[in-house]
Amino acid sequence: MLVKDFKRDFYDVLQNQRVLVLVAFDVDALCACKILQYLFQCDQVLYTIVPVDGLQGLENAFLENAEGIKHVVLINCGAAFDIVEILQPEDHVRFYICDSHRPVDVHNFYNAVQVKLLMREDELSTIPSYDEVFRDDVSLISEDSGNESEDSETGYKRKRFDEESVLRRQERRRWNENREKVLFNYAKFTSYATSAALVMFELAWKLSKDTNNLLWLAIVGVTDQFIHFKTPREKYMEDIIALQSHVTRHNQRGSDDENIMSVNCLRISFEEELNLCLYRHWTLFESICHSMAIACKLRLWSLKGQKRLHEFLAEMGLPLNQCKQQFSAMESTMKPEVKTKMQEYMTKYGLVVQDVILPSFSLQYGYKNLMCATDYVLACTAVLESVDKSKHSTDNFLEASDILQRSSSEKFEAGLASAKLQLKSVVSQVQSFLDMHQIISAGPFLYVFVQEGTADSRFFAHPQCLIRLARFSLQAHCAVSRNKRAQSLPLVLGAPYNLEEGTSLVVGIPPLDTDDERKNFFGKAFEQASKSTSTTAKFHSFDSYIIEMKSEDKSKFFDALISILQ
């Protein structure tokens, strides 16, 4: 059931209760969780936080911690499948689901007692109506069963019953067919709605407990969704505009000198940022090479592309030795010019505004730390998906959570360093895909595999990095491909996951020409393909378009996928 009044039906109910919070492994969920934590601490609500990865993790975490718990909050997990069916909770347990995954399972939506959805109402308008998917005609069923036992009745009577029951059966068959169709259409595409962090921030705002700190978390959550290709640009802009009004409200300062805030306060400001990853903490040259939009437009992996980049930089009047040193150490007269110069000369190189400029926010406290929301997300994701074998995934979760706390800048620096490594590995992998012509068209889609034993393959055993790689590969392929159809083909990418068990991760991303929607149909396609080949493909995370499967089943699975998508 959808919660209409978050304060009355969600927050007030939890007062003086112990709450179990289950959080998925992504930055948005982490931000939402942080906001909720702050709220709970304000009102001294006792809670336990357990990070969960994947369905199995969710089940285990619930089983282990469910004792004596009446209220469970699920953040960015749980909406897409029937939570009551899977977890088999006791009757008094209530689930509060704050999840940006769409579609929401119909059972969750129509469960009025145990499941409460913390979502925006207007984003759930496509859900099928109750009558289309559920039937409470208990009377019919009982009559039916009664009918069979009444065989000894007179012939006349039986005939009448038969006619009626045939009609009824026909009607039921029609209804069932319709139900299947409606459900299929409803669940055909997976997409993402408003970020969980933003929903939580709005709750905090309604409770008048919003602070600059929470606002920053909401910004990071929204940015995470955008730069991991979950929400389209339009939706991102919408959220940014909503957030901007909060930003101006919180960072309002009077014009006179007395009201100037101390430099040690947290300050958030709206900025038209350069759409270059980590450029504030890297060299401008490297940053351009690792930014998806520009790198693909200029084809920076080729020698020609490199020359073009040199030309571009020369035309902007930025000397190479300046571009190849840390951005922070660049000459101070050049730094502010970079953005305007880039906008000035970009059209000559076929770049559009969207490639170069990203409206975003930056955060400042103290003299040292000026950080952009995208940098923050990248650092946080890199820590969350750390490749360090000695660390358990929950260790990574806590470390990422520390970065969001902004308690130590060293941790953030370390996060940035690993984000750079991740980006580098993605770019070199894409380059090797293109050099070896490994991206192959299978007819209805493109596919490519990361070979086992590739040096950087350990990076690609994590969902966000895998999606980034898939997206980069697709964009790069479209940039070099002479085939006009490449724009309208989706890409399936496989990468080794666990060498000992012989499993791989497979991700499917939608074609580039539908990028303004960012809806993904691979969830259903994978499900059907695995059903028809009876291979075991299990969902790796809570995104249905990433699956984990046995490497040996791959060819069988792909044949099935081709026949389904044709």
Instruction: Output the smallest distance, CB 44 to another protein, in A.
Output: 6
Q: Which helix (H) or strand (E) holds 58?
A: helix 54-65
Q: Across-strand partners of 363?
A: 268, 371
Task: By CB under 8 A, tell whether 90 contacts another protein.
Answer: no
User: 364 is written with which tokens?
Assistant: 């400042």
Interacting residue with another protein among 44, 125, 152, 534 (CB under 8 A): 44
Stretch that binds another protein, among 40-48, 281-289, 460-468, 477-485 (CB under 8 A): 40-48
In contact, 81 and 99? CB cutoff 8 Å: no
Q: Which amino acid is at 465?
A: C
Instruction: Output the smallest distance, CB 213 to another protein, in A.
Output: 10
CA-closest candidate to residue 301, choices 320, 283, 288: 288
Nearer to another protein, 44 or 566 (CB): 44
Nearer to another protein, 64 or 435 (CB): 64
Task: By CB under 8 A, tell whether 212 contacts another protein.
Answer: no
CA distance 499 to 504: 8
Task: By CB under 8 A, tell whether 412 contacts another protein.
Answer: no
Instruction: Output the smallest distance, CB 60 to another protein, in A.
Output: 10
Task: By CB under 8 A, tell whether 436 contacts another protein.
Answer: no
The b/e string for 193-206 (b: 16+ C-beta within 10 A; e otherwise) is: bbbbbbbbbbbbee
CA distance 421 to 347: 31
Nearer to another protein, 157 or 392 (CB): 392
CA distance 94 to 70: 6
Task: By CB under 8 A, tell whether 398 contacts another protein.
Answer: yes
Task: By CB under 8 A, tell whether 265 contacts another protein.
Answer: no
Radius of gyration, alpha carbons of the chain: 26
CA distance 475 to 292: 8
Q: Would strands 503-509 and 546-550 be described as parallel, antiparallel, or unpaired?
A: antiparallel
Nearer to another protein, 289 or 380 (CB): 380
Task: By CB under 8 A, tell whether 397 contacts another protein.
Answer: yes
Instruction: Output the smallest distance, CB 203 to another protein, in A.
Output: 18
Stretch that binds another protein, among 41-49, 187-195, 276-284, 541-549 (CB under 8 A): 41-49
Helix residue ranges, H only, 251-392: 284-289, 292-298, 303-316, 320-323, 337-345, 353-356, 373-384
Task: By CB under 8 A, tell whether 46 contacts another protein.
Answer: yes
Residue 293: alpha-carbon gap to chain centroid: 19
Task: By CB under 8 A, tell whether 56 contacts another protein.
Answer: no
CA distance 456 to 449: 13
Instruction: Output the smallest distance, CB 396 to another protein, in A.
Output: 9
Nearer to another protein, 395 or 413 (CB): 395
CA distance 351 to 355: 6
Nearer to another protein, 178 or 409 (CB): 409
Interacting residue with another protein among 10, 11, 25, 40 (CB under 8 A): 40
Interacting residue with another protein among 29, 32, 51, 80 (CB under 8 A): 51
Instruction: Output the smallest distance, CB 393 to another protein, in A.
Output: 9
Q: Would strands 71-75 and 18-24 be described as parallel, antiparallel, or unpaired?
A: parallel
Instruction: Output the smallest distance, CB 80 to another protein, in A.
Output: 24
CA distance 489 to 381: 28
User: 423 is written with which tokens?
Assistant: 């980006």
Stretch that binds another protein, among 33-41, 364-372, 533-541, 550-558 (CB under 8 A): 33-41
Task: By CB under 8 A, tell whether 404 contacts another protein.
Answer: no
Helix (H, G, I), strand (E, B) or coil at 127: coil
Nearer to another protein, 37 or 302 (CB): 37
Interacting residue with another protein among 29, 35, 36, 45 (CB under 8 A): 45
- Beta-carbon count within 10 A of 45 CB: 18
Task: By CB under 8 A, tell whether 96 contacts another protein.
Answer: no
User: 152 is written with which tokens?
Assistant: 């000894």
User: 174 is written with which tokens?
Assistant: 């029609």
Instruction: Output the smallest distance, CB 72 to another protein, in A.
Output: 14
Helix (H, G, I), strand (E, B) or coil at 209: coil
Alpha carbons within 13 angstroms on the beta-carbon side of residue 130 total 9
Interacting residue with another protein among 392, 437, 485, 519 (CB under 8 A): 392
Task: By CB under 8 A, tell whether 15 contacts another protein.
Answer: no
Task: By CB under 8 A, tell whether 409 contacts another protein.
Answer: no
In contact, 382 and 418? CB cutoff 8 Å: yes
In contact, 206 and 4? CB cutoff 8 Å: no
Residues within window 155-194 making contact with another protein, judged by CB under 8 A: none
Interacting residue with another protein among 165, 244, 302, 394 (CB under 8 A): 394
Task: By CB under 8 A, tell whether 68 contacts another protein.
Answer: yes
Q: Extract the runs of DSSP E, i.e. beta strands, from 115-165.
A: 115-117
Interacting residue with another protein among 5, 12, 15, 48 (CB under 8 A): 48
Instruction: Output the smallest distance, CB 466 to another protein, in A.
Output: 24
Instruction: Output the smallest distance, CB 46 to another protein, in A.
Output: 5
Task: By CB under 8 A, tell whether 522 contacts another protein.
Answer: no
User: 315 is written with which tokens?
Assistant: 């035309």
The contact set with another protein (CB under 8 A) reads 18, 37, 40-41, 44-51, 64-65, 67-68, 392, 394-395, 397-398, 405, 407
